[in-house]
Chains A and B, each alone.
Chain A
Amino acid sequence: MYSRLTMAVFTPTSLSEALLALAESPAATLLSGGTDLMVELNSGHRRVVSVIAVNRVVELRSWRHDPVAGTLHLGAGITYAEIASDPIAQWVPALAQAARTVGSPQIRNAATIGGNLGTCSPAGDGLPPLAALDAVVHLAALGAERSVPFAEFMVGPKRTARLPGELITGVTIPLAAGWQGYSKVGVRNAMVIATASAALVTDTQTGSVRLALGSVGPVILRCPLAEAHAVEHADFAGLSISEAAVQEFAVLSRDAARPIDDHRSSAAYRRHAVGVLAARLLRRAFPNG
């Protein structure tokens, strides 16, 4: 049986309890860090009848570096505060940089990577690094498990491939051997939603460059043309690339963006900004020539 704290709020401590609760109460609302759900509850935009709070589920609070597989697995309940600092940060610098920009220290102590994936906003800070790293999202339901590459997991703005009865249990990130980084544009220097963001991951072993853009489309956008162009023109040994190639990379990145106008920013600015971010990130990855 699962733990019942009150009539309406269940707090399971094991994954099997959580999945059983979810199977028995399909109308229950999942609660992780609360930083998205509570905003909606407080404003009256959403009502709940019953809640399954997964922040005590032991399996979701674990993480593991696997040196043999070359992966980092993060349980869905790992917080952004934990991701932003060592021992986790060292494995995924781009994700750690993104984590540092999430909300505020208070938000980072509560917000979880699983919650961020569950909400799947195009402005979610942790998402572009996951996309650029080709992370894999793990889902579980009672008696079933599956894994979905991030690109297939996020299907639209705040829409995911998660099915009713499924719980996000974690994410596995293949580690990359090379420079990686994240940049986020916001009007102020803390507690700001990205008007444009980008994550760049290079791998000197595989000779790859991966770029993911946030806040400039209905989903996190990868830029295959820009990536191919970078691979063609970058010297992985000397860590160099020509200025002309960097500028072309920026053009291709801008072309991949599909931004909209909203109250935070204009499509024109967003498109311009991701080009600038892409160019600067590429130059950081290949600082020479």
Chain B
Amino acid sequence: MAEAADMTDGPIGSNEAYSLHVNCERRDVRDAWVGESLLFVLRERLGLMGSKGACEQGECGSCSVLIDGALVCSCLVLAASVVGQQVLTIEGVAPVGAPTDVQQAFVDAGAVQCGFCTPGLIMATHSLLERSAEPTELEIREELSGNICRCTGYGRIIEAVQRVAVARRSRASS
């Protein structure tokens, strides 16, 4: 019994052209295919490899970016639909070699092992601390629950977030 996959061979649609605002820069995209996710465009067309793909379903958070300040999974965003919106990726958080307090805290607290989940977690943590400067442990767990880590067991990540919150509070009060 002959078998072939059940896919209709539709028009290619590989001539999309649009401009995105990424990390405060205008970035042009050419000859793109209509079905490309923002994650694909960031990585493969704009050379921003920092956002990672680990599930293509929004179930792991490795691809997390901010769009107009809201934390979302870039694998679930159709690239061409965010024209006119502000996209912030891990590359836009800080220049290479000048890590933010969150990034440094992750490193110092042992919250980085393989590092694949780390960019997404950095985005989620920055977003969390913007909205809640002194989160409780349960708040940290819930706000980061969209980010899976397979290496660390989460304990050192929670520690890192708490250290940042404490350090920021003492800087603010000094």
Verify if B16 is at the interface (C-beta below 8 Å from A): yes
Verify if B94 is at the interface (C-beta below 8 Å from A): no
Asked if B35 contacts A48 (CB within 8 A), the reply is yes
Question: Whole-angstrom distance from the CB of B21 to the nearest CB of chain A?
Answer: 13
- Chain B residues 71 to 86 lying within 8 A of chain A, measured CB to CB, are 71-73, 75-78, 80-81, 83-84
Q: Contacting B16 at CB < 8 Å: which of A6, A33, A189?
A: A6
Interface size class of A (residues with CB under 8 A): 35 or more
How far is A204 from B145 in the complex, measured between Cα atoms in Å? 37
Instruction: Tell me which residues across on chain A come within 8 A of B167, comparing CB atoms.
Output: none
Verify if B95 is at the interface (C-beta below 8 Å from A): no
How far is A7 from B14 in the complex, measured between Cα atoms in Å? 10
Please encode chain B, from 110 to 132, with 1 for each CB lying within 8 Å of some chain A CB and 0 for all others: 00000000000000100100000
Please encode chain A, from 234 to 275, with 1 for each CB lying within 8 Å of some chain B CB and 0 for all others: 000000000000000000000000000000000000000000
Measured CB to CB, the nearest residue on chain B to A34 is: B76
Asked if A47 contacts B10 (CB within 8 A), the reply is yes
Known contacts A41-B35, A42-B37; decide if A104 and B78 are in contact (CB<8 Å).
Answer: no
Tell me how many residues of B have a C-beta within 8 Å of chain A. Answer: 38
Measured CB to CB, the nearest residue on chain B to A46 is: B35
Asked if B81 contacts A51 (CB within 8 A), the reply is yes
How far is A81 from B147 in the complex, measured between Cα atoms in Å? 16
Instruction: Tell me which residues across on chain A come within 8 A of B70, comparing CB atoms.
Output: 81, 109-110
Question: Whole-angstrom distance from the CB of B124 to the nearest CB of chain A?
Answer: 7
Instruction: Tell me which residues across on chain A come within 8 A of B127, comparing CB atoms.
Output: 105
Asked if B77 contacts A7 (CB within 8 A), the reply is no
Interface residues of chain B, those whose CB is within 8 Å of chain A, are: 7-8, 10-11, 13, 15-18, 34-35, 37, 56-59, 61, 64, 70-73, 75-78, 80-81, 83-84, 124, 127, 142-147
Apart from A104-B145, A106-B64, list 15 A-B contacts with CB within 8 A. Answer: A5-B83, A7-B17, A7-B34, A8-B80, A9-B18, A11-B81, A31-B78, A38-B78, A39-B57, A43-B56, A105-B142, A105-B146, A106-B61, A107-B146, A110-B73
